[in-house]
Structure 1
Amino acid sequence: MVDIRSTPDSGGGRAGVPSRRALLRGSGLAAAGLAGVATTTMLDPTAAHAAPVGPWEYVAPGASIQSAISSGAKAIQLGAGRYTITTPIAPTPGCTIRGVGQRTEILAGAAMASMIEIGGGNPVDGVYIGDLVLDCASKATNGIDLNIVGTTGNYKGEPDSMCRLDNLWVYNPVLDGIVYRGSDTQATSTSRVRVRGAGQYGFHVNAPDNWWTACEATTRASTGANAGFYIGANAANNFFQACKAWYVRGYGWHVRSTRNKFVGCEAQDTKAHGWYVEWDRNTFVGCVADTAGMYDVSGTPNTADGFYLAPGLETALVGCQAFDRRPGGHAAQQRYGFNVPAGMVSSGRLAAPTGWDNTSGLINQR
C-alpha cells in the first residue's frame, strides 16, 4: 500500500500533500471505506488473499471468508470473482460482508443446509450482507437462513436483531432463497433481492416485524409446496412494498398469517392463485394479479384466480387490480380476478377493484 502522505506532489497540490485530483485518481473507493486501496485490487483475483485496510478486511477470490470472520474481521470486502464454499458462512454480531455486485459470486461447492447462516438459533444482531451473488447450484438447501433467538449482547440492548440484506442475487436453492425464522429475527430489512429458481419458496417468512422492499422471486418445478413469497403463522406485522412473485410453479403469494401490510406488490404468471390468502386481518393496497393459471408454468386455464381469499371478515383490498394479459397470444387463463367471501363485497372491504379478460369474470362472491 502506498502512503499518499509521503508521495511527491503530482497533481498541483503542495509537496507531500495529495491534491484533490490525486485523491480522486488514487482513492476511488474512499466512499466505501477503503481509502487508499487501488480499484484494481478489488477486481484482480491474483491479488493478496487477505489485506487489512483500516476497518476492512479484503478477502480475494479463492480465500476463505469464514476464516476472516473467525479471526475477528467485522467488515469484509470481497472482490470480483468466485468464492467456492463447502460449509455455511456464519457472520458474527455486527459483521458486514460486501461484494462488488454481480461480479462477486459465492458458489456452493457441496451440499449444505444454507450458504449463509445468521444466528443459527442463537443471538446475533447488526449483520449486513450486500452486493453479491449466492449460487446455491442446487446443492445448498437455502441461500440465507436467519434463525435468531435471544438478544444477549445486542447493540445498546436493542430487543431486535436489526439485520440488513441488500442488492443480492440468489440462484437455484434446493428449497428456499431466504428463510426468516427465530423469535428475534425482527427489525430486519431486505431490499433489492432477486431469488431465481427456488425449489419451494423464494422468500420463506416465518418471523414478525420486518420489512421487504423491491424484492422478487421465481420458482422452478416442485412436487411439494411452492410460492414466490410464503408468509407463515409466526410472520405477523410485516411490511411488503413493491415486491413481485413471477413465473412461479405454485402460488405467487401464500399468506397464512395476520396483521401484514402489502403495498404495490404483484403476482405475475403463476400456476396457482396469484394471491392465496388463507388467514384474515391483513391489508392490501394497490396490489396486482396478472395471469394466474399461466400455461408456461404448467397452469390450467380457468382453475386459478388472481386473488383468492379464504376468509375476509377483517381484511381489506383497496385499489387492487386483476387481469389476464393473454401472453403469447393464448386465450385468457386466469379464472376470477377476485374470488372472495360475499361479506367482503357487501361491507365495502373490496374497494375499487379493476381488471379485465378473466375467463369467468372479475368478481366471484362466495
Structure 2
Amino acid sequence: MDERWYQRRSVLGGTAFAAAGITAGVAAETLLSPGPSPAEAEQKGPWTYVPPNGSIQKAIEDGATAILLGNGDYRLTEPVVPVRGCTIRGAGQRTRLRATRSMDAMIAIGEGRSVDGVSVSDLVLDCAGQAGIGIDLDITGTGRFYKGEPDAVCRIDNLAVYTPELDGIAYRGSDTQACVTSRVRVRQAGRYGFRVEAPDSWWIACEATTRRQTGASAGFYVGPAIAGSDGIGGANNFFQACKAWYCRDYGWHVKGTRNKFVGCEAQDTRSHGWFIEYDQNVYTGCVADTASSRDLGANANEADGFFVGQGDQTSLVGCQSFDRRPGGRGPQQRYGFNVPATMADQGRLVGQTGWDNATGLVNRR
C-alpha cells in the first residue's frame, strides 16, 4: 500500500504562535518575512530575531539566549549548540532548519556537559539523510543548574523531524531528566523515532514512523544504552497519547522498567506492535492495530499486537489489539496478546479486547 494512505494531519499545520503575545511587540510581518542576504541578527526587545540565512549558532555565541526564527530556511553546516537557559522558537511549519552536510545532530543539547533549561519549539528539522539525529539531549552534571535543580528540565514542543539517518530525538546522559517532549512528529527515522535512554521524563502526543528494516528499529525505543551510547537507561518515564505507526520493525520496543504508558498505540508494523522485553511496567488503555503488516514486508501470522517477554510484575489493563484488515484482506496480526501464562492466570492481563487476529486474541505461553 502506498504510504500516502497514512499521511494524516500535521501537528504543525496551524500557526503555532502569536507574534504579539510572544515577542513583546515584534511585528508579525517582521518574523514571517525573509530577511536580507547576508542576514544579521536583530534585537527585538528581550528577543534576538535571526532571519533566514542568518546563523543561529553565531547568535548564541554572541550571547543570545532568547532566539526567534522567521519564515524560511536555515541551512545548517554544523549543529546548533544551545547554552543553559536558551530558548529557540520558530513560526511553526514556516521555519525550516535543513542539514546541508553530514553531522551527528542538528541540535545538540549538552554534548555530555551540564546544561539546563533549554527550550526548542515551533519549527521543522529536515535532517535530509545528512544528520544522524534531529535533537540529541546528552546532559551530564548539575553544576549551576537553575536554583540548584537536580534535573535538566528541558522542553521540546511542536516540532516535525524528517528523515534522520538514525534517530529523531535521543535522550541520554545521567542528568537528562524532568524533560517534557510534546506534539513532536518524527517521520521516516532510520533507526528510532524516539530513543529514550534516560529516566524521569514525559512524552505527550508524540508520534513516529521509520523507513528502514534492521530487525531492531522502532518508533519508540525505551531501554538501556545501545552500543556506543552513554545513556543510563530509560526508567520511570511517562508516555501519554503517543503513537508509533508505519514502522519497518517494532512500534514500541520496551527494555526499561518502571515506565508508564497511557493511551498509546502501535499501528501498522512489520514486527510486533509492542515488543515488551523487560518487566515492571504499566500499560493502561494502550492499543495495537495490525502488526505483521504485509504493506511493510511481513507475512501474515508472524507478529503479535503485544508480545510480553516478562510479565511477573507488569500489568496490561483495558488494552485492545486487533487487525482491521486493511483493503479487505484477511487478518495479518498473529495474536492480540502473546504473554506468559502466569501473567494471564494471576490477573495482570485485565479487560483486554480485540478482534480479527489471525490465530487468536490471547496466547498463554
TM-score, normalized by length of structure 2? 0.91
Cα offset for 1:169? Answer: 0.2
Matched letter for residue 235 of structure 1: G
Tell me if structure 2 keeps the 8 A contact 1:306–1:334.
Answer: yes
Q: Secondary structure at the match of 1:41?
A: helix
Alignment partner of 1:32 is 2:31: no
Task: Give the greater-gyration-radius structure (CA).
Answer: 1
Which residue of 30, 40, 65 maps to 1:41?
Answer: 30
Determine helix, strand or coil for the equivalent of 1:333: coil
Gaps of 5+ in 1: 1-27
Counterpart residue number, 1:8: none
Counterpart in 2 of 1:5? none
Q: Which residue of 2 aligns with 1:254?
A: 253
- Quote the residue 2:294 is aligned against: 295
Q: Structure 1 residue 195 and structure 2 residue 193: aligned?
A: no
Question: What residue identity is the alignment partner of 2:259?
Answer: N
AA aligned to 1:227 is A
Distance 1:334 1:246 in 2: 15
The aligned counterpart of 2:229 is none
Q: Is the 8 A contact 1:200 1:224 kept in 2?
A: no
Q: Which of residues 121, 132, 137 is equivalent to 1:141?
A: 132
Residues of 1 paired with 2:321 and 2:216: CA distance?
23
Aligned-pair distance for 1:204?
0.3
TM-score of the two chains, using structure 1 as the length reference: 0.91
Q: What is the alpha-carbon distance in structure 1 between the residues aligned to residue 150 and residue 278 of structure 2?
A: 27
Q: Percent identity?
A: 63
Cα distance in 1 for residues equivalent to 2:28 and 2:241:
34
The letter of the residue matching 2:131 is A
The offset of 1:297, in angstroms, is 1.2
Match of 2:214 in 1: 223
The answer for unaligned runs of 5 or more in structure 2 is: 1-17, 225-232
> Shift in Å at residue 44 of structure 1?
1.2
2:86 paired with 1:87: no
Q: Distance in 1 between matches of 2:60 and 2:298?
A: 46
For 1:70, the equivalent position in structure 2 comes to: 61
Is the aligned partner of 1:343 residue 2:342? Answer: yes
Cα distance in 1 for residues equivalent to 2:298 and 2:239: 26
Code of the residue aligned with 1:91 in structure 2: it is: P
d(CA) in 2 for partners of 1:265 and 1:29? 33
Q: Work out whether residues 215 and 249 of structure 2, in 8 Å CA contact, stay in contact via their aligned partners in 1.
A: no
Which letter maps to 1:184?
D
Instruction: Give the length in aligned residue pairs.
Output: 338
State the AA in 2 paired with 1:347. Answer: Q
Deviations 1:107-136 (A, max 9, x none): 000000000000000000000000000000
Once residues 29 and 181 of structure 1 are traced to their aligned partners in structure 2, the CA distance between those partners, rounded to angstroms, is 33
Residue of structure 2 in register with 1:268 after alignment: 267
Q: State how 1:54-65 maps to structure 2 within 5 Å.
A: 54-65=45-56
The CA deviation at 1:222 is 3.1
Q: Secondary structure at the match of 2:290?
A: strand
Question: For residue 227 of structure 2, what is the aligned residue in structure 1?
Answer: none
Deviates more, 1:204-213 or 1:219-228: 219-228
Determine helix, strand or coil for the equivalent of 1:84: strand
In structure 1, what is the equivalent of residue 114 of structure 2? 123
CA distance in 2, matches of 1:225, 1:80: 38
Aligned counterparts of 2:214 and 2:327: Cα–Cα separation in 1: 26
Q: Is the 8 A contact 2:214 2:249 kept in 1?
A: no
Residue 224 of structure 1: how far off its partner (Å): 5.0
The separation in 1 between residues aligned to 2:45 and 2:127, in whole angstroms, is 32
Shift of 1:33: 2.6
Distance 2:121 2:203 in 1: 15
> d(CA) in 2 for partners of 1:189 and 1:64?
27
Structure 2 counterpart SS, 1:354:
coil
Asked if the contact 1:252/1:274 (under 8 Å) is kept, the reply is yes
Match of 1:111 in 2: 102
Residue equivalent to 2:14: none
Cα deviation per residue 1:305-352 (whole Å; 9 max; x = unaligned)?
Answer: 000000100000000000000012221100000000000111110000
Letter in 2 for 1:68: A
- Which residue in the other structure is 1:169 paired with? 160
Per-residue displacement from partner, 1:47-93 (whole Å, max 9, x unpaired)? 56311011100000000000000000010000010000010000000
Q: 1:232 Cα deviation (Å)?
A: 1.1
Q: Which residue of 1 aligns with 2:332?
A: 333
Task: Report SS of the residue matched to 1:356.
Answer: coil
Counterpart CA distance in 2 for 1:211 and 1:313 is: 25
Tell me, in whole angstroms, the C-alpha distance in 1 between the residues paired with 2:35 and 2:62.
22
Tell which has more relative contact order, 1 or 2 (C-alpha 8 A, sep 6+): 2
Q: How does 1:316-331 map to 2 (within 5 A)?
A: 316-331=315-330
Aligned AA (2:30)? T
CA deviations 1:119-175 (Å, max 9, x no partner) are 000000000000000000000000000000000010000000000000000000000
SS in 1 for 2:295: helix
